Structure 1
Amino acid sequence: MLVEFSVENYRSFKERQTLSMVASEDEVMLHSNSFPMPRTKDLHLLTSAVIYGANASGKSNLLRAMQTLRNIVVSSASRMQMGDKFDIEPFLLNAESKKQPTSFEVIFINNQIRYEYGLTLDEKRVYEEWLLAYPKGRAQTWFSRTYNPENPDFKADDGYEWSFGTGLKGEKERIKKFVRPNSLFLSHAAQNNHPQLTEVFQWFRTNLNLISPDFSSPYTAHRCQEDKEFCQEVVNLLIQADIGISDIEIEMRSFSSLPDEIKTVFENITDVIQRNENNNKTPKMNADDFHILGIQAMHKMMDSEKFVPLDMGDESEGTQRLFELAGPWLNVLKDGELLMIDELDRSLHPVLSTALARIFNNPDINKNNAQLIFTTHDTSLLDGEIFRPDQIWFTEKDKSMTKLYSLHEFKPCEDESLQKGYLKGRYGAIPFVGGLNI
């Protein structure tokens, strides 16, 4: 469960900005659009958040920042070597910011325990890393490291000041020796099976799921082939979307069954591989040895009970996107994870986007407190019957810097048209176009 995420000096974010999933005290749709925060009496966490803003205002950068933090945690110990660089880009439109590190901080709940994890780093080095835990309701600093080679009283060879709290059990000093300037203690601890920190690591690895605008994945097709029950859930979603599909069939197709032009490309690639490996000693690869998944959408005929199969590649872009989204969508709901979607409305009808968003705000469907954060330009979702004001967020450029703020700050009236107010610029976060002359 995400509580809040903060970012500073990353791409268009110069100053610290925070996205909070903590619900306000407003009672409107509180029991449908939020759920009680574990181990607290009064606080609730929101089930979803939507982010609006003009093009290039920073919407995508916010989700990208969360994904960047996830990737660094997951890969810094296992995939990076000494000298490798982090995928970090500071705010470049200020001479001082270009020289300063980037900061990420996330507060989340995993297995009923609240954690606060933070990083300060540039592309070459981690400057700070810390983790606080609240296993009994009070903060415990489990570990921290700070790069401070200029401290005259500090003699450590690696330039870091380390601190471990009594709440963190198990091996620490041995794991610390594996940590590089460009790796994380949290990542190495998980790699060495530290019980407490592996649970924290797994939250980053499995609970943060991002779908980009150009998302294309065979995941849904593979799951449908392996799990018939899951496939039926996907089919039910497609049927309810009223796009004319009655069923899905998945089959394995050999490369030899593909059109000749595709087979020719495959044969040319395998010939190049064979020539460049082991002086032609590599056995020649045959197209019949390779298979791909074929996806067919079944459409019922108008004048009979028969069905006509159509290749998924011949369906509309919106249908293909909905099918690809279905797998991650259903998994997140089942496992109570966080799903981030950049441009939810790409190729999807507004009614369908609305229906998908409502799923997360329906406690009868979202039984495991999954959360959804997405960006969109679809103003039909600006509806007080769909979202509470604290679920609606905006990004706006101020002197080239992204500012992130919630509609809740404007305290809109109960009967106020949020869509009209936004398009009129009442809440900001829209482009100011004085006419386009060509």
Structure 2
Amino acid sequence: MLVNFKVKNFMAFSDWEDISFLANNRVKDHEKSLISINNLNLLPVKGIAGMNGAGKSSLIRAIFCYYTLQKFGSLALFNDTSMNVINYFMGEHEDSQNWWEGSNMLFTSNMFNDAAKNILFEVTFAIEDFFFVHFLELDADLNIINEKITIKKDIKDDGNWLTSLLSNKGTIFMFLKKISTTNIENFISKSVDIFKVSSVKVYEKIPAICKFLDNFIEQKMVFGQIMNSPNHFDRAKAQLKKYFSNSEMEKLITMIAKTADSKILSAHKNLTPSFRGKDNYEITLKLNNGEKTIAYKDLSVGTKKFVKIVMFAIYTVLEGGLFIGDELDMNLHPSLSKFIIDLFMNSEINKKYGQFLFTSHVPYSFDELRIDQIALLYNDDLKKNKLRELLELKKDLDVNLRSSIVFSKNYLSEVLGEHPKTADLSAIQEVLKNIERR
């Protein structure tokens, strides 16, 4: 499980900024929803609020960058094999090439906040009975020039940093990716001296770390809006096939779609697949003049988005892992956003400890969260993008730290004390008048 993600000098962030899933024990709301692991309570949901340009997408993209390093071992390899990446993320789709050319998924020097400094990552996971901390440093050529790992029994312990074998200038593939694709036992047996530290035999944990990361990155880290491809519906169905038969899948899609659109009566798999071999679904609607059948692709944008996100969310609560959604509320009614959050907050449903990280402009999405589940992105007095826990910014709250402050009512005035500048309509009016005079 993800405990903490820290990044520095990435896009909007010049300083170390971090997002934590650690629960504050003083907060008493929704205690049954918390995830207990290694004597710690972790949060199943973390929401990030912020204005345009505050850095929400920068954070999501930073996590995606770390994910890519884990998946491919190299950002350069990711960039050089673009069509393979398309197939991996999207499958074969008629819009793949156009989508790729118009996307910002390729990693370039533009992602450095300061081109003269390196990008730093520090990520903490809870694995079995210990905590694993992974440090990476990227240079301007997108090479990993430093990588460290440490193991902690106690999250508060400073631990012992362990420099990997691949901490040389110009390294491309990161250490953990390399040993996870080789014979780990042989690799470790030849490198015992390197892996010995004073308190923990780190090398004994390396197999568990590699197994966890391979599984977590490959199967259990799902991005939502950052890869808003037209093929997400097919990917979601493919992931859930291990749990649902065709008839059960029809019932599931019907149930989800009806939650978003009450006119929907049923969803049925079309026996004739598309020319790409993908499953087609037909939707039956109840209208004033009777029933009408349409293709799934002709549903509203919001309904389709809701169906896809809920299917990914269901997969995450069934498997465990981390589901990430940028701009959760885009095209969705607030009640539908709440439905998705509730899936993860319900301990009877979320038995495999799935986690959900989302960003949003809409404050209503945060009203029923614990106060330690909310983080804020804003610009400080120096115009730097800062990421802070709401708990840090609201130290004057009631001692019980209840989250019933109704975040949406306090968001603009109390929490940030700022909001986007209202457009100067008189200036716009003058521009339009100049056009009329021509």
- Using the size of structure 1 for normalisation, the TM-score is 0.74
Amino acid at match of 1:39: N
What residue number does 1:199 align with? 211
Query: RMSD across aligned C-alpha pairs, in angstroms?
Result: 3.2
Does the alignment pair 1:116 with 2:115?
no
Please report how far the alpha carbon of residue 325 of structure 1 lies from its aligned counterpart in structure 2 after TM superposition: 1.7
Check if 1:299 corresponds to 2:285. Answer: yes
Partner of residue 86, structure 2: none
Residue 312 of structure 1 aligns with an amino acid whose one-letter code is Y
Matched, 1:431 2:412: no
1:93-242 counterparts in 2 under 5 A? 97-122=114-139, 123-134=141-152, 139=159, 144-145=164-165, 147=167, 159=168, 181-194=171-184, 195-202=207-214, 203-212=216-225, 214-216=228-230, 217=232, 218-222=234-238, 227-228=245-246, 229-242=248-261
Name the SS for the 2:352 alignment partner: coil
Aligned to 2:38: 39
Give the structure with the larger helix fraction.
2
Whole-angstrom distance in 1 between the partners of 2:75 and 2:121: 21
Matched residue, 1:372 = 356
Cα separation, 2, equivalents of 1:129 and 1:340 = 25
Question: Structure 1 residues 327 and 84, CA, compared in 2 at 3 Å: closer, same or farther?
Answer: closer
How far apart, CA to CA, are the structure 2 residues paired with 1:88 and 1:309?
A: 46
Q: Which residue of 1 aligns with 2:268?
A: 249
For structure 1, the 5+ residue unaligned runs are 148-158, 161-179, 256-286
User: Conserved in 1, the CA contact under 8 Å of 2:72 and 2:78?
Assistant: no
Q: 1:68 to 1:26 in 2, by over 3 A?
A: same
- Name the structure 1 match of 2:294: 310
Aligned to 1:163: none
Q: Work out the CA distance in 2 between the residues paired with 1:34 and 1:9.
A: 32
- State percent identity of aligned pairs: 22
Is residue 349 of structure 1 aligned with residue 338 of structure 2?
Answer: no
1:424 Cα deviation from its structure 2 partner: 2.0
Distance 1:136 1:395 in 2: 29
Q: CA deviation at 1:6?
A: 0.1
Bigger Cα displacement from structure 2, 195-204 vs 119-128:
195-204
Is 1:395 the counterpart of 2:394 in the alignment?
A: no
Aligned to 1:24: 24
Does the aligned pair in 2 maintain the 1:248–1:298 contact within 8 Å? yes
Shift of 1:223: 5.5
Structure 1 residues 46-65: aligned runs within 5 Å: 46-65=43-62
Deviates more, 1:365-374 or 1:200-209: 200-209
Identify the residue that residue 8 of structure 1 maps to in structure 2. 8
Instruction: Indicate how the Cα distance of structure 1 residues 3 and 367 shifts in structure 2: closer, same or farther if over 3 A, else same.
Output: same
Structure 2 SS opposite 1:395: strand
Q: Is the 8 A contact 1:124 1:181 kept in 2?
A: no
Q: Which moved more, 1:47-56 or 1:405-414?
A: 405-414
**CA, structure 1 residues 8+301, in 2 after alignment: closer, same or farther (shift >3 Å)?**
same
Q: Which residue of the partner structure matches residue 303 of structure 2?
A: 319
Preserved CA contact (<8 Å) 1:84 1:182: no
Distance in structure 2 (CA, Å) of the matches to 1:32 and 1:79: 44
Which ranges in structure 2 are unaligned for 5 or more consecutive residues?
Answer: 83-105, 185-206, 429-438
Deviation, 1:100, is: 1.3
73-82 or 59-68, which deviates more: 73-82
Q: Which residue of 1 aligns with 2:85?
A: none
CA pair 230-129 structure 1, distance change in 2 beyond 3 A = farther
With over 3 angstroms needed to count, the CA separation of the structure-2 counterparts of 1:328 and 1:207, relative to structure 1, is: same
CA–CA separation in structure 1 for the residues paired with 2:327 and 2:79? 36
Secondary structure of the residue that 1:426 maps to in structure 2? Answer: helix
Tell me, yes or no, if the aligned pair for 1:9 and 1:15 is still in contact at 8 Å: yes
CA 1:219/1:420 → structure 2, altered by over 3 Å: closer, same or farther? same
Partner Cα separation in structure 1 for residue 73 and residue 12 of structure 2: 24
Structure 1 CA distance for aligned equivalents of residues 342 and 273 of structure 2 = 40
Q: Using the TM superposition, give the Cα deviation of residue 59 of structure 1 relative to its aligned residue in structure 2, in angstroms.
A: 0.5
Q: CA deviation at 1:26?
A: 2.2
Alpha carbons of structure 1 residues 221 and 25: separation in structure 2 relative to 1, 3 Å: closer
Structure 2 CA distance, aligned partners of 1:188 and 1:429?
47
Question: Whose radius of gyration is greater, 1 or 2?
Answer: 1
Aligned AA (1:99): A
* Counterpart in the other structure of 1:362: 346
Q: How many residues were matched structurally?
A: 365
Alignment partners' CA distance in 1, 2:353 and 2:29: 15
Give the secondary structure class of the aligned counterpart of 1:232.
helix
